[in-house]
Chains A and B, each alone.
Chain A
Amino acid sequence: MTARDELPVKDSKTRTQSGYIGKSEPRANAKRLLQGRGSFIDDLRFPRLAHVAFLRSPHAHAKIKSMDFSKARAAPGVIGVFDGRAVAEYCSPWIGVLGHLKGIKSPPQYPLAIERACWQGEAVAAVVAETRAQAEDAVELVAAEWDPLPAVIDMHESLSGKVVIHPEFEDNICFSRQIDNGEVDAAFKNADVVVEESYSFGRHTGVCLEGRAILADYNAGEHMLTVHHATQAPHMMQDIFSKHLNLPEANVRVICRDIGGAYGIKVHVYPDEMCTAALSIMLRRPVKFVADRLESFLSDIHAREHKVTVRLAATKDGEILAFDLDDLTAIGPYSVYPRTSGIEGNQVVNLTGGPYKHKHYRASLNVVFTNKNVTCQYRAVGHPIAVALTEGIVDLAAQKLGMDPAEFRRRNMIPDDAYPYTGAAGMKYEVLTHHQCLDKLLSLMDYKGLRAEQAELRKKGVYRGIGLAAMIEVTNPSPAFYGVGGARISAQDGATLRLEPTGMLTVLSSVTEQGQGTEGIFAQIAATVVGVTMDKVKVITGDTSTTPYGGGTWASRGAGIGGEAVLQAGKALRSNILDIAAAILNVDKADLDIFSNEVIDLASGESKLPLAELGRVAYFRPDTLPMKFQSELMVTRHYTPREYGFTFTNGIQASLVEVDVETGFVKLLKHWCVEDCGTVINPLLVDEQIRGGVVQGIGAALFEECHYSEDGQLQNATMADYLVPMSGEMPDIVCGHVESKTRTSELGAKGVGEAGTAGAPGAVMNAINDALSSLGARVTTMPFTPERVLDALGKK
């Protein structure tokens, strides 16, 4: 039985069985985007709109000696020029720490740096003008004098603490953590085989096609700040604007219309965005900031940049006994507010070795400050690192044992009937399906056939490689992720469903849409549960003044948490509708059902009352209903996961590559991903979401890296130099699903947004190393540029 068959909405007493859940319904909200008639922040037109541009530090670390604004202030179109002190009077500083990350520290951060800039690109002055071009012209006229300070760029140098970045601290360690479960030393001592390898992960960034964008509109008459914001978490931002700009919560409204990509980049508090909101209050007019591409590279959060050494102990029969790892990661000069920059490293040590049933696990993590741009949570946070180093070392062990990598994994994966299960790292898994996913993957890709083809081609001098990467993923986080640490980030989401007089259904959700199809799947759930057709449903998201309160979209939580809220609200609304129908028809509610926009007789299926008629009566002729009866056609329900800290999911990916061993070029031939996200609400959306994630993971493996010079200058801050994956190099990606629903919700959906990104880098790395294995070469430093491949081969 699949998860879909188990859905409560398929209760045998109802007739909405077929429903829309599990169907590949194209999403209605895509149509305006296809005509270029979306509404992104930069598309909005406001009277008296002012534009801001920022002077950003040219140094990685420097004291601001002086800034002379006189020429800038006199430039055409300039409305005002402000430094950090001026803006700080309207916006209080923040500190990016969380209580449950014990010992994490970070200094206060201001909208504009006040005395000292700590990375190249940190904003130090704001110029507001009638047009963006005029603002940029005037930025060039600010005369700034700098006193450069020693910059800490290398993470090992930072750890050594010879130069300490923040004078209020004794060292550069933002956060550290140790895990030591079981008997790790004994396991390594008793092992037949021990393998060890170091992996290096490049620093990269999200490169949303739409730059970060905010249009803050302060109305002095109402003392009201309306913020049109490209953010994934409008209620979180409402709280933050309220707190730091000192406005009553009710006087802040955050509106998110169309958002041009987010991937975690747009869920953080950015100094330049806080500054823009403050400027609107200071100038009493709307002010807009859209990060241009240069600013995006310099100030959108970066991510990754880890160096990890990992060891694995195994028996000669191929049983993994233990993992032991040491992760060092550098996060820039500040821990980002309010989620902190400790989470990615924390995820690495939580997730490494995740698919396997070893009993002994040790991990050490150091998160250090550097004078580069800040890093924080970007799609799949920590997973790509944990998966790649786990799967890299697992492959190396299999190679040393002379075992097929698929078979080695099969022997060590947690059995599918072992759940609930607590892994060696301490994570609790409700229900996972590693073995089913592995079987499905191997058959989907014809693993044996590919191996045979690989051997044949090798004889002809063609170097193909097949790489596997099993994974676990954190989805549907409970308050354990942020709330328990003191962050005012909702782990709950809400949905309001309203039946309109014409029988239309309006859904309001606190989850936001950045293209994942949230609105589409909510329409599917609502239509299915209430019993209407899809064309009757309209979904509204992204407005703190109209939607229920909630967390928004991040950590693969929209479908699982927001979707369950829609389902529960739908059930309640359905019940209310049937109450009204029973009153109108004067029959027993239990004998009625709703199907295809009509109330029907449950037994015969005969149509009794169209919902449009029911709506008409309920709203316009309640006088015809029994005297004490009040109809309730609007219902709100909330949902938050409680039983598990996270709803873990699992999956496995495979990559097929061909390496040109003369040039070091890697050609991606094909990619597979089998994933278990529980209930698949819309296969069309899920599959392309996975593929998009895979492509971002491929970017990490082959292309993307923020290059910093020794003095902390970002050297490839353009799209010509920072290489993102384009269509020409990407392979076709085959998706498969296993559906084990989570029993923590009736919907049964787990998250899926990060699956592709989590596993792809490891799969590609293993495929390259498989191709190179007969040549005795291995690559472990991402991205795998032609030069790095050639280096491994000893050519040049």
Chain B
Amino acid sequence: MKAPAFAYAKPRSLAEVCALLDERGETARVLAGGQSLVPMLNLRVAAADLLVDISGIESLRGVSVTADRLCVGALTSHREVEQSAEVARHAPLLAQAAPHIAHVAIRNSGTFGGSIALADPAAEWPACCLALDATILTISKAGKRSIPARAFFKGLFSTDLRPGELITGVEIPLTPGHRSVFLELSRRRGDYAIVGVAAMAKVQGGTLQDVRLAFLGGGDRPLLAVHAMKAAEGKPPLADLGPALAADLSPMADLDTSARTKLHLANVLARRALAALAG
């Protein structure tokens, strides 16, 4: 299980990264924390002629807060997000989700931007970005772009990223009046979830306002459950969102869990999440 041979470059500037990615096209792959790419290389299910290690670009690292938004740099590790006081204060959903990501040794290396770029449908950060209505910031030789998270995830491991484009960070609008809950079901701690939900709402007199339910494991990409959100809007927590979720989600069966079971579990989680938001 040794990776096939590849070359390695560690550029010192964003401009250099963009130039390399542009020049080498799809034969180059970006290496951030490597926690998904390196196992795929070891397993020889992925290959690359060149790995472009972006870990030397300090500007991509860290969490910052402005008046109305929190910015998580692409190279910020899962562990840094988990332990960030700013994140806990301004985007508690991320702090709630972080401990579900694999294990400490992986959270130390794996990066926020890497997870967004990979777009694993069962990963935590992409679903959180949907719930938080985040914006993905990118750069390439052609320039910078800001892409709403809700338009970013296109399919199984597929995003709006263009060839040669790199995620630099994620901007999250501050939502001081919202509560958040993150729930997921995985058979063992740290495993990818069978299904999970990132939930947010404001609570007014026992009813939920601006309800946001984003699912991981609910389809070929992270999904915002718009029908369920509409059904839950302005009401006390509902007990059954089944029919709405059936319209929102189309889970993929895995070896142990059918699509139907996943839909059932999503409904259980949605109910629990809404109750927890209101509680």
A-contacting 9-mer, from B9-17, B159-167, B168-176, B187-195: B187-195
Is A292 within 8 A of B1, CB to CB?
Answer: yes
Is A728 within 8 A of B188, CB to CB?
Answer: yes
A631 sits at the interface (CB 8 A)? no
Is B268 within 8 A of A785, CB to CB?
Answer: no
**Residues in chain A near residue B258, CB distance under 8 A:** 787, 796
A-contacting 9-mer, from B21-29, B68-76, B205-213, B259-267: B259-267
Q: In whole Å, how far is B187's beta carbon from the nearest beta carbon of chain A?
A: 6
- Give the contacts of A193-241 with B (CB-CB under 8 A): none
Q: Which of A662, A718, A720 contacts B268 (CB 8 A)?
A: A662
Chain B, residues 138-154, CB within 8 Å of chain A (1/0): the string is 00000000000000000
A716 sits at the interface (CB 8 A)? yes
**Residues in chain A near residue B188, CB distance under 8 A:** 703, 723, 726, 728-729
**Residues in chain B near residue A707, CB distance under 8 A:** 255
Q: Which of B190, B263, B265 contacts A728 (CB 8 A)?
A: B190
Given the known interface contacts A136-B2, A137-B4, A663-B268, the answer about A721 and B255 at a Cβ–Cβ threshold of 8 Å is yes
- Give the contacts of A263-306 with B (CB-CB under 8 A): 292-294
- Give the contacts of B190-225 with A (CB-CB under 8 A): 190-192, 194
Is A787 within 8 A of B189, CB to CB?
Answer: no
Chain A, residues 762-796, CB within 8 Å of chain B (1/0): the string is 00000000000000000000000111001000011
B185 sits at the interface (CB 8 A)? yes
A132 sits at the interface (CB 8 A)? yes
**Residues in chain A near residue B194, CB distance under 8 A:** 786
**Residues in chain B near residue A293, CB distance under 8 A:** 1
- Give the contacts of B1-55 with A (CB-CB under 8 A): 1-5, 43-44
**Residues in chain B near residue A723, CB distance under 8 A:** 187-188, 191
Complex Cα gap A763–B256 (Å) = 22
**Residues in chain B near residue A663, CB distance under 8 A:** 185, 265, 268
Complex Cα gap A721–B264 (Å) = 22
Is B255 within 8 A of A715, CB to CB?
Answer: yes
**Residues in chain B near residue A140, CB distance under 8 A:** 4, 44
Complex Cα gap A585–B3 (Å) = 70
Complex Cα gap A357–B268 (Å) = 47
Is A796 within 8 A of B264, CB to CB?
Answer: yes
Given the known interface contacts A721-B255, A787-B258, the answer about A665 and B185 at a Cβ–Cβ threshold of 8 Å is yes
Chain A, residues 701-734, CB within 8 Å of chain B (1/0): the string is 0110101000000011010110100101100000
CB nearest to A785 among chain B residues: B256
Is B265 within 8 A of A718, CB to CB?
Answer: no
A133 sits at the interface (CB 8 A)? yes
**Residues in chain A near residue B43, CB distance under 8 A:** 294, 718
Is B268 within 8 A of A716, CB to CB?
Answer: no
Is A726 within 8 A of B2, CB to CB?
Answer: no
CB nearest to A666 among chain B residues: B187
Q: In whole Å, how far is B149's beta carbon from the nearest beta carbon of chain A?
A: 26
CB nearest to B268 among chain A residues: A662
Give the B interface residue count (CB, 8 A). Answer: 25
B108 sits at the interface (CB 8 A)? no
CB nearest to A717 among chain B residues: B43
**Residues in chain B near residue A790, CB distance under 8 A:** 261, 264
Complex Cα gap A716–B2 (Å) = 19
Q: In whole Å, how far is A700's beta carbon from the nearest beta carbon of chain B?
A: 14
Q: Which of B189, B192, B255, B264 contacts A795 (CB 8 A)?
A: B264
A interface bracket (residues with beta carbon within 8 Å of B)? 20 to 34
Is A137 within 8 A of B255, CB to CB?
Answer: no
Most buried by A among B1, B189, B194, B268: B1
Complex Cα gap A140–B189 (Å) = 36
Q: In whole Å, how far is A471's beta carbon from the nearest beta carbon of chain B?
A: 27
Q: Which of A137, A702, A718 contacts B5 (CB 8 A)?
A: A137
**Residues in chain B near residue A137, CB distance under 8 A:** 4-5
B83 sits at the interface (CB 8 A)? no
Complex Cα gap A665–B261 (Å) = 12
Q: In whole Å, how far is B42's beta carbon from the nearest beta carbon of chain A?
A: 9
Complex Cα gap A398–B102 (Å) = 43
**Residues in chain A near residue B59, CB distance under 8 A:** none
Complex Cα gap A140–B268 (Å) = 46
Most buried by A among B3, B189, B194, B256: B256
Is A786 within 8 A of B261, CB to CB?
Answer: yes
Q: In whole Å, how far is B48's beta carbon from the nearest beta carbon of chain A?
A: 15
Q: In whole Å, how far is B273's beta carbon from the nearest beta carbon of chain A?
A: 13
B64 sits at the interface (CB 8 A)? no
Complex Cα gap A140–B45 (Å) = 12
Is B187 within 8 A of A796, CB to CB?
Answer: no
**Residues in chain A near residue B3, CB distance under 8 A:** 133
**Residues in chain B near residue A665, CB distance under 8 A:** 185, 187
Complex Cα gap A707–B256 (Å) = 9
Complex Cα gap A720–B256 (Å) = 13
Chain B, residues 235-279, CB within 8 Å of chain A (1/0): the string is 000000000000000000001111011011100100000000000
**Residues in chain B near residue A728, CB distance under 8 A:** 188-190
**Residues in chain A near residue B260, CB distance under 8 A:** 796
CB nearest to B189 among chain A residues: A728
Complex Cα gap A786–B263 (Å) = 13
Q: In whole Å, how far is B71's beta carbon from the nearest beta carbon of chain A?
A: 32
CB nearest to B2 among chain A residues: A133
Is B257 within 8 A of A787, CB to CB?
Answer: yes
Q: Which of B44, B185, B255 contacts A786 (CB 8 A)?
A: B185
CB nearest to A295 among chain B residues: B1
CB nearest to B5 among chain A residues: A137
Complex Cα gap A718–B44 (Å) = 13
CB nearest to B195 among chain A residues: A663
Complex Cα gap A728–B189 (Å) = 6
Complex Cα gap A723–B260 (Å) = 22
Q: In whole Å, how far is A720's beta carbon from the nearest beta carbon of chain B?
A: 8
**Residues in chain A near residue B189, CB distance under 8 A:** 726, 728-729
**Residues in chain B near residue A703, CB distance under 8 A:** 187-188
Q: In whole Å, how far is B224's beta carbon from the nearest beta carbon of chain A?
A: 23
CB nearest to B263 among chain A residues: A796
Complex Cα gap A702–B194 (Å) = 15
Q: In whole Å, how far is A39's beta carbon from the nearest beta carbon of chain B?
A: 23
Is B5 within 8 A of A294, CB to CB?
Answer: no
Is B185 within 8 A of A796, CB to CB?
Answer: no
Chain A, residues 524-563, CB within 8 Å of chain B (1/0): the string is 0000000000000000000000000000000000000000
Complex Cα gap A137–B265 (Å) = 43
Complex Cα gap A716–B187 (Å) = 15
**Residues in chain B near residue A705, CB distance under 8 A:** 256
A sample of 9 cross-chain residue pairs with beta-carbon separation below 8 angstroms, ordered by A number, consists of A140-B44, A663-B185, A665-B187, A723-B191, A726-B189, A785-B187, A786-B187, A790-B264, A796-B264
Q: Lowest 10 CB-CB distances: which A-B pairs, in order?
A: A728-B189, A133-B2, A292-B1, A796-B264, A785-B256, A787-B261, A707-B255, A662-B268, A787-B257, A796-B260
- Residues of chain A touching chain B, judged by Cβ–Cβ distance below 8 Å, are 132-133, 136-137, 140, 292-294, 662-665, 702-703, 705, 707, 715-716, 718, 720-721, 723, 726, 728-729, 785-787, 790, 795-796
